[in-house]
Homo-oligomer: A and B are copies of this chain.
Amino acid sequence: MSLPYAILTALLEKPSSGLELTRRFDKSIGYFWSATHQQIYRELGKLEESGAIRALPGPRQPTRGQKKEYEVLPAGRDELAAWVARIEDPKPIRDALLLRLRAAGVVGTEGLEAEVRRHLALHRAQLAEYRAIEERDFGEGGKSEVDRLRHLVLRAGIDLERFWIGWLETARAELADLGAGAAADARTGPAATA
């Protein structure tokens, strides 16, 4: 539902071909809205058909293998501006790891602590990456409106990673503690904790 708008934004920032867009979705915009090249080509087709974008002129006939650059038309820009202000509720959380914690309550926590540790490492790496970008792109002041908004978005990413790191640390501690209890049970019999 948001992909077309993500593409319009990217194209307004810089007219591009499908593959260039794909590359840009592997970083930058892709940090908070990822897409594969198949999705992007599919969506570019729809956007072109609806008159929101158009292919830049160039000698063409066989479309396959030929580079094709797109730019945003006024209609597309208007749609995007309308979407920015549109009333649209935030989506509820959807996180598989939380679900797994819940499942562990009924089938046991066997193997979960390792997975939590792994996620912790991944989130720490992601945080480091974001911090490096922040340092590089928003190091000193004198910021334009675009910069300030981009920095705001990046800060959301950073704080989200910080949240996960904090939560995963307490989860790991809790799981270790439960594991210790289970180990004690194995020695003394489960009745000791019941």
Q: Say yes or no: is A176 at the interface (Cβ < 8 Å to chain B).
A: no
Q: Does the CB pair B84–A32 fall under 8 Å?
A: no
How often does this chain occur in the complex, in copies? 2
Q: Contact at A174–B148, with CB atoms within 8 Å?
A: yes
Given A105-B150, A106-B146, A156-B167, A91-B96 contact (CB < 8 Å): yes
Residue from the list B6, B145, B167 in contact with A178, Cβ < 8 A: B145
Q: Which of B31, B95, B171 contacts A152 (CB 8 A)?
A: B171
Taking residues whose C-beta sits less than 8 angstroms from the other chain, chain A's interface range is: 35 or more
- Check if A96 sits within 8 Å of B85, measured CB to CB: no
- A interface residue numbers (CB < 8 A to B): 1-2, 5-6, 8-9, 12-13, 29-34, 77, 80-81, 83-112, 114-115, 118-119, 122-123, 145-146, 148-150, 152-153, 155-157, 159-160, 163-164, 166-167, 170-171, 174, 178, 181
